[in-house]
């Protein structure tokens, strides 16, 4: 089979999660102004400080310009045509699973995320976010025994206002960038996690995001706080139905690690990517940042980005404490007309801080895949070290791969290493493996999995298998 | 076992004709050597039998156990027992020899209706095969051909052959790039693997491999055709006289035929 044919069949692969769920919504009118924000805040019965937070963010947002410095082209979202809040109707306080609309439960089952605790992957607690609101958080009691708080951010605002107020916006300020400001103004829900001192969270925490409604954007916020000497591992997964218009997903994630704490944050992103011609798909414009606030703390981002029409995303770590560690492990797969501009920022402020960046970009079809990363060593960060490795793999002749590293060091004791490679999955490699008996699909899957191995091994065990499968599906070139 | 009749082959991309009417019959239990100058089409012949997509067969046929295999994909041919030891083995970073071999072995076993081996059985099986190429168990955990020396790559090809137990082995310049000791190990391995139920076709430039493995037939390929066949003495003659004296055969039997 020639490379062209291979390419064609790869592009024919189907998106499995593209169905819609027919539920009734409590919707907002489209568009955004201060009244919409006040209404949102009052529906959610929010305290005054949060409304202020939102309004300030909104005023800043109105003054800001939509960014355009990345390596992607698209028609900018019509912000007046987005519904900023969308919640499935008839939603009483959810005390047990029986209170959830059976259609929504069914949706999660179709996605392979059953909410019944007994069916869950052993040791994984799930918060399920459907359009704008959090539907249900499993395993709440078991976590509470360990002192871990895991709930929707709306619930956290009510129950733990002092924690939320203290930390929200402390890592990603409301005016940080255009999309973070928009999120700060209109965020509807998201997950909140607090791990107390000297606690190892007894299970994997996980949030599952699902955009269902055609006109709604999803603006969730996640806030994770790991107190001194605690440890937590968190995973998010995302899917959306197939619509022929673009939907905006502008999330903000903030992580705070205090002395000797460790946060591991993993993402499997499989939003709808649009069709062969680039029609439809999600705009995934998120701001994710963590701060290693205390000494000896560690934050690790692992992401497997396979979906979305356009992805702009740079999960970053501010290494504020001494002896802190920041890690970024990324696999970004683009196919068809997808565009991804993704990478990280490692900001070294503390002494002996260390960061590692391993980025693997795989492009196929007519897609464009860019790595953009910044490593900054400040004056005071003695003996800071960074190692970056950015590898790109091309499948076919019509895709693009780019690497944009930005390196800045203001301290002569800093050590920065950057390595980059580009390779092409060639006919010869596929032929070699086929000659050893593997089918063409299996050959490609093996080559790609081998290429991503260093990153995939960072994913929590429970999800590694899913990740392998997802890569296989994304790049399937059914034998033709 | 293998019957190649009047095989004409072009490079798909630019239409250059490489093979211009090759005839070759290989029976079970036989060892054949194909020799010839650079660019005569030896490697192309091996790749075409294995089903490389770069080439297009314009005329003639390839029968394997009486069955036309031209329409089969490379993996389907591998399932039937065709094995190609590559002249330039390909690197597959991040995939260990063991992972590849387990997948290969089990895929082929499944297609032949043979029992798959569970991981522990497979480990034992591999350990025995490793002895054949004089490598330790760490060889299994190295990524396929990645960072291997030329000699290691060639040994790995023979190791894979030992594990997969093919029926028809096409060895494309397996002897080049090997030092004397490695050559002996590889040659011994091939000899041990060869039995009366399988056949080996060795492509080589040099007589030296044939000092270890005595072929039943030696063929000389020039200009995309086999111009002379004989027994092992033909190889010795070539060593002495080179290929020039045969080039007249190529033109006489060439285009006019």
pTM, 2 dp: 0.82
Q: How many CB pairs under 8 A join A and B?
A: 79
What's the pLDDT at A395?
A: 87
Report whether pLDDT(A23) > 70. no
Question: Nearest CA of chain B to the CA of A450: how many Å?
Answer: 4
Residue B210: domain span:
2-90+167-252
Edge-first strand order for the sheet with B82-85 is: B82-85, B168-172, B199-203, B31-35, B217-222, B225-230
What's the pLDDT at B101?
A: 95
A224: β partners: A193, A255
pLDDT tens figures, A373-385: 999 999 999 999 9
Residue of A206, A191, A208, A229 whose CA lies nearest to A110: A208
In angstroms, the first-to-last Cα distance of chain A is 7
What's the pLDDT at A26?
A: 65
Find chain A residues with C-beta within 8 A of B89's C-beta. 432
Under a CB-based contact definition with an 8 Å cutoff, are residues B160 and B190 in contact? no
Report whether pLDDT(A8) > 50. no
* Residue A406 to residues A231, A345, A375, B24, Cα–Cα distance (Å): 31, 9, 6, 60
Question: Using the beta-carbon criterion (under 8 Å), do B78 and A2 form an inter-chain contact?
Answer: no
Tell me, yes or no, whether B62 lies in a domain. yes
Inform me whether the C-beta atom of residue B92 falls under 8 Å from chain A C-beta atoms. Answer: yes
**Strand ranges (E), A349-399:** 354-363, 368-377, 385-394
Residue of A192, A187, A248 whose CA lies nearest to A220: A187
List Cβ neighbours of A130 (8 Å cut-off, separation of 6 or more).
A88, A104, A107, A210, A212
Report whether pLDDT(A18) > 80. no
Tell me, yes or no, whether B113 lies in a domain. no
Burial status of residue A122 (CB atoms within 10 A of its CB: 0-12, 13-18, 19 or more)? exposed
Question: Using the beta-carbon criterion (under 8 Å), do A438 and B104 form an inter-chain contact?
Answer: yes
Cα nearest neighbour of A440 on chain B: B75
pLDDT tens figures, A29-65: 778 889 889 988 988 899 999 999 999 999 999 999 9
Report whether pLDDT(A134) > 70. no
Inform me whether the C-beta atom of residue B108 falls under 8 Å from chain A C-beta atoms. Answer: yes
Q: Quote the CA–CA distance of B96 and B101 in Å, as a whole number.
A: 9
What's the pLDDT at B235?
A: 87
What's the pLDDT at B219?
A: 95
Report whether pLDDT(A9) > 60. no
User: Per the structure, how many domains does chain B have?
Assistant: 1
Average the pLDDT over each of A201-210, A278-287, B32-41, B166-175 and give the range with the smallest value.
Answer: A201-210
Q: Beta strand pairing status for B55-64 and B31-35?
A: unpaired
Residue of A186, A192, A207, A209 whose CA lies nearest to A131: A209
Under a CB-based contact definition with an 8 Å cutoff, are residues A146 and A202 in contact? yes
Report whether pLDDT(A146) > 80. yes
Total Cβ atoms within 10 A of residue B206: 15
Total Cβ atoms within 10 A of residue A177: 17
B33: β partners: B202, B218
Tokens of A324: 């802190």
- Nearest neighbour of A450 by CB, restricted to B52, B78, B92: B92
What's the pLDDT at B208?
A: 84
Cα nearest neighbour of A393 on chain B: B93
Average the pLDDT over each of A9-18, A168-177, A322-331, A416-425 and give the range with the smallest value.
Answer: A9-18
Which of the four pLDDT bands, split at 50, 70 and 90, describes residue A131? low
What's the pLDDT at A221?
A: 92
- Nearest neighbour of A450 by CB, restricted to B73, B94, B104: B94
Report whether pLDDT(A359) > 70. yes
Inform me whether the C-beta atom of residue A417 falls under 8 Å from chain B C-beta atoms. Answer: no
pLDDT tens figures, A411-446: 999 999 999 999 888 788 999 999 999 998 889 889
Residue of B192, B191, B194, B175 whose CA lies nearest to B183: B175
The CATH number linked to B59 is: 3.40.50.300
What's the pLDDT at A213?
A: 62
Tell me, yes or no, whether B215 lies in a domain. yes
Question: Using the beta-carbon criterion (under 8 Å), do B78 and A452 form an inter-chain contact?
Answer: no
Which letter, b or e, does each residue of A404-422 get, where b requires 16 or more Cβ atoms within 10 Å of its Cβ?
ebeeebeeeebebeeeeee
Question: Using the beta-carbon criterion (under 8 Å), do B53 and A432 form an inter-chain contact?
Answer: no
What's the pLDDT at B118?
A: 86
What's the pLDDT at A212?
A: 62
Residue A74: what are its φ and ψ, rounded to 5°? -165, 165
Q: Quote the CA–CA distance of A70 and A310 in Å, as a whole number.
A: 11
Report whether pLDDT(A181) > 90. yes
Can you give the pLDDT of all 257 residues of chain B as single tens digits?
999 999 999 999 899 999 999 999 999 999 999 999 888 999 999 999 999 999 999 999 999 999 999 999 999 999 999 999 999 999 999 999 999 999 999 999 988 888 888 888 899 999 999 988 888 999 999 999 999 998 899 999 999 999 999 999 999 999 888 888 889 989 999 999 999 999 999 999 888 888 899 999 999 999 999 999 999 888 888 888 888 888 777 655 444 33
Q: Quote the CA–CA distance of B64 and B76 in Å, as a whole number.
A: 12
Which of the four pLDDT bands, split at 50, 70 and 90, describes residue A120? very low
What's the pLDDT at B254?
A: 44
Report whether pLDDT(A4) > 50. no
Tell me, yes or no, whether B186 lies in a domain. yes
Q: Quote the CA–CA distance of A348 and B72 in Å, as a whole number.
A: 57
pLDDT tens figures, B28-42: 999 999 999 888 999
Q: Quote the CA–CA distance of B162 and B135 in Å, as a whole number.
A: 13
Cα nearest neighbour of B112 on chain A: A437
DSSP result, A189-253: EEEEEEE-TT-B-SSEEEEEEE--SSSB-B-EEEEEEE-TT-EEEEEEEEE----SSEEEE--EE
Tell me, yes or no, whether B224 lies in a domain. yes
Tell me, yes or no, whether B139 lies in a domain. no
Total Cβ atoms within 10 A of residue B149: 11
Under a CB-based contact definition with an 8 Å cutoff, are residues A306 and A274 in contact? no
Report whether pLDDT(A398) > 80. yes
Averaged pLDDT of chain A: 83
Find the farthest-apart pair of alpha carbons in chain B and give their distance in angstroms, rounded. Answer: 60
Average the pLDDT over each of A113-117, A320-324, A328-332, A451-455 and give the range with the smallest value.
Answer: A113-117
Greater confidence, A456 or A22? A456
List Cβ neighbours of A370 (8 Å cut-off, separation of 6 or more).
A70, A71, A72, A340, A341, A342, A343, A361, A401, A402, A403, A404
What's the pLDDT at A392?
A: 93
Q: Quote the CA–CA distance of A285 and A176 in Å, as a whole number.
A: 13
Tell me, yes or no, whether B157 lies in a domain. no
Q: Beta strand pairing status for B17-26 and B2-11?
A: antiparallel
Inform me whether the C-beta atom of residue A1 falls under 8 Å from chain B C-beta atoms. Answer: yes
Residue of A153, A141, A180, A168 whose CA lies nearest to A57: A180
- DSSP class of residue B39 equals T
What's the pLDDT at A111?
A: 59
List Cβ neighbours of A255 (8 Å cut-off, separation of 6 or more).
A171, A224, A226, A263, A265, A288, A289, A290, A291, A299
Tell me, yes or no, whether B86 lies in a domain. yes
């Amino acid at each position: 089979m020639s490379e062209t044919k291979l390419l064609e069949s790869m592009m024919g692969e189907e998106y499995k999660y593209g169905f819609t769920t027919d539920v009734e919504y409590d919707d907002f009118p489209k568009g955004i102004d201060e009244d919409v924000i006040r209404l949102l805040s009052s529906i959610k019965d929010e305290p005054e400080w949060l409304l202020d937070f939102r309004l300030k963010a909104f005023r800043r947002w109105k003054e800001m310009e939509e960014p355009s410095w990345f390596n992607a082209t698209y028609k900018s979202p019509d912000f007046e045509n987005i519904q900023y809040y969308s919640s499935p109707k008839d939603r009483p306080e959810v005390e047990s699973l029986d209170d959830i609309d059976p259609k929504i439960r069914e949706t999660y089952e179709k996605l392979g995320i059953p909410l019944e605790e007994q069916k869950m992957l052993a040791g994984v607690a799930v918060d399920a976010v459907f359009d704008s609101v959090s539907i249900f958080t499993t395993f709440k009691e078991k976590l509470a025994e360990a002192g871990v708080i895991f709930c929707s951010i709306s619930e956290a605002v009510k129950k733990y206002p002092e924690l939320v107020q203290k930390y929200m916006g402390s890592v990603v300020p409301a005016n940080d960038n255009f999309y973070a400001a928009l999120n700060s103004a209109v965020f509807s829900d998201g997950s909140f996690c607090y791990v107390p001192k000297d606690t190892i969270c007894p299970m994997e925490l996980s949030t599952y995001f699902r955009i269902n409604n055609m006109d709604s954007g999803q603006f969730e916020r996640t806030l994770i706080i790991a107190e001194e000497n605690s440890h937590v591992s968190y995973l998010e997964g995302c899917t959306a139905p197939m619509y022929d218009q673009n939907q905006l997903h502008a999330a903000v994630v903030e992580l705070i690690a205090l002395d000797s704490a460790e946060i591991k944050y993993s993402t499997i992103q499989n939003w709808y990517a649009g069709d062969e011609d680039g029609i439809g798909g999600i705009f995934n414009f998120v701001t994710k940042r963590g701060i290693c606030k205390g000494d000896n703390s560690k934050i690790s981002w692992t992401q497997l980005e396979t979906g979305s029409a356009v992805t702009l995303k740079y999960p970053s770590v501010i290494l504020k404490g001494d002896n802190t560690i920041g890690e970024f492990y990324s696999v970004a797969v683009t196919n068809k007309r997808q565009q991804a501009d993704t990478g990280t920022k490692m900001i070294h402020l503390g002494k002996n801080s260390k960061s590692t960046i391993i980025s693997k970009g795989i492009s196929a079809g007519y897609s464009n895949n860019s790595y953009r990363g910044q490593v900054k060593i400040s004056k005071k960060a003695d003996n800071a070290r960074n190692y970056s490795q950015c590898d790109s793999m091309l499948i076919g002749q019509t895709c693009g791969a780019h690497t944009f590293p930005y390196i800045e060091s203001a301290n002569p004791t800093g050590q920065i290493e950057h390595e980059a490679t580009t390779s092409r999955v060639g006919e010869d490699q596929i032929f070699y493996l086929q000659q050893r008996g593997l089918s063409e699909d299996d050959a490609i899957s093996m080559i790609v999995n081998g290429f991503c191995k260093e990153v995939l091994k960072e994913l929590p065990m429970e999800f590694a298998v899913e990740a392998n499968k997802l890569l296989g599906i994304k790049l399937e070139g059914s034998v033709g | 076992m293998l019957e190649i009749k009047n095989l004409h082959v072009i490079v798909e991309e630019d239409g250059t004709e490489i093979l211009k009417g090759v005839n070759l019959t290989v029976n079970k239990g036989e060892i054949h050597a194909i020799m010839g100058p650079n660019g005569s089409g030896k490697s192309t012949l091996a790749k075409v039998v294995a089903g490389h997509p770069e080439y297009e067969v314009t005329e003639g046929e390839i029968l394997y156990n009486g069955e036309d295999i031209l329409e089969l994909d490379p993996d389907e041919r591998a399932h039937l027992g065709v094995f190609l030891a590559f002249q330039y083995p390909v690197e597959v970073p991040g995939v260990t020899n063991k992972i590849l071999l387990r997948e290969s072995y089990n895929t082929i076993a499944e297609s032949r209706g043979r029992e798959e081996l569970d991981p522990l059985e497979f480990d034992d099986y591999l350990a025995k095969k490793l002895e054949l190429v004089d490598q330790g168990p760490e060889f299994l955990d190295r990524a396929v051909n990645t960072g291997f020396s030329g000699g290691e790559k060639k040994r790995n090809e023979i190791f894979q052959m030992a594990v997969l137990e093919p029926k028809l082995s096409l060895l494309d310049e397996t002897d080049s790039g090997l030092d004397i000791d490695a050559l002996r190990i590889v040659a011994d391995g091939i000899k041990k693997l060869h039995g009366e139920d399988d056949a080996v076709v060795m492509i080589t430039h040099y007589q030296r491999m044939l000092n270890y493995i005595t072929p039943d037939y030696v063929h000389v390929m020039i200009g995309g055709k086999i111009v002379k066949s004989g027994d092992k003495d033909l190889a010795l003659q070539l060593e002495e006289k080179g290929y020039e004296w045969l080039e007249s055969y190529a033109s006489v039997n060439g285009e006019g035929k």
